[in-house]
Amino acid sequence: MAVLRGGVLVLVLLVALGGCETMRRKFTRKKRRSQTQETMIVVPRDYSAHPFPNDAMYQQYFTYWKAWNQEWVSSLQDQDSHKKVVSCGEQTVANLEKMASYLTPEKKERLDVYAAAARALQEDIAAHKGLLPSQYASYRYRAQRILSVVNRNFDMRHVKDAIR
């Protein structure tokens, strides 16, 4: 019995000192392999010219302007938050200015009048944080007037000859 205990003790001692090789590999850090960096191939592109013709771009900005102006009118009618009303006005003015950049100088001057009116309306709304219901109605009427006049006079049918 003493020999058996001694044999088991020696076996346990050998396993403890030697350890399991797979467990030792599992918990040791692996050396990092040096990664070769691939050289990047950079091909410069000219993004100055957009791929779409000017009439398509004008039509796109006209559609954006119309949607934003309608949203502006409805947010004024529903007396939405001040932040929403101001952001709709900013988008309306920005799209009007982008539309004007595609027109000939004569048509551009006519559109700039309405862009200035929209900008003045937007700045007036932005300056007054707490609006009264009567002010919402007045601003909504002005935004509707801009919407109807620009929609009527600067639709694609009316300006297709004035796009540069």
> For 38-67, how does the pLDDT look when each residue is reduced to its tens digit (9 = 90+)?
788 888 887 777 778 888 999 999 999 999
Is pTM beyond 0.75? Reply is no
Q: Please tell me the distance from the alpha carbon of residue 80 to that of residue 162, in angstroms, as a whole number.
A: 37
* pLDDT band for position 22 (cuts 50, 70, 90): low
Q: Which domains does the chain have, with CATH numbers?
A: 54-159 (1.20.120)
What pLDDT was estimated at residue 99?
93
35 has a pLDDT exceeding 80: no
Helical axes 82-100 vs 133-153, angle rounded to 10°:
20
Average pLDDT (118-145) is 91
What pLDDT was estimated at residue 59?
94
18 has a pLDDT exceeding 70: no
CA distances from 127 to 62, 76, 88, 108, 124 (A): 27, 15, 15, 28, 5
What pLDDT was estimated at residue 23?
62
- Within 8 A by CB and 6+ apart from 130, the residues are 82
pLDDT tens-digit series, residues 84-127: 999 999 999 999 999 999 999 999 999 999 999 999 999 999 99
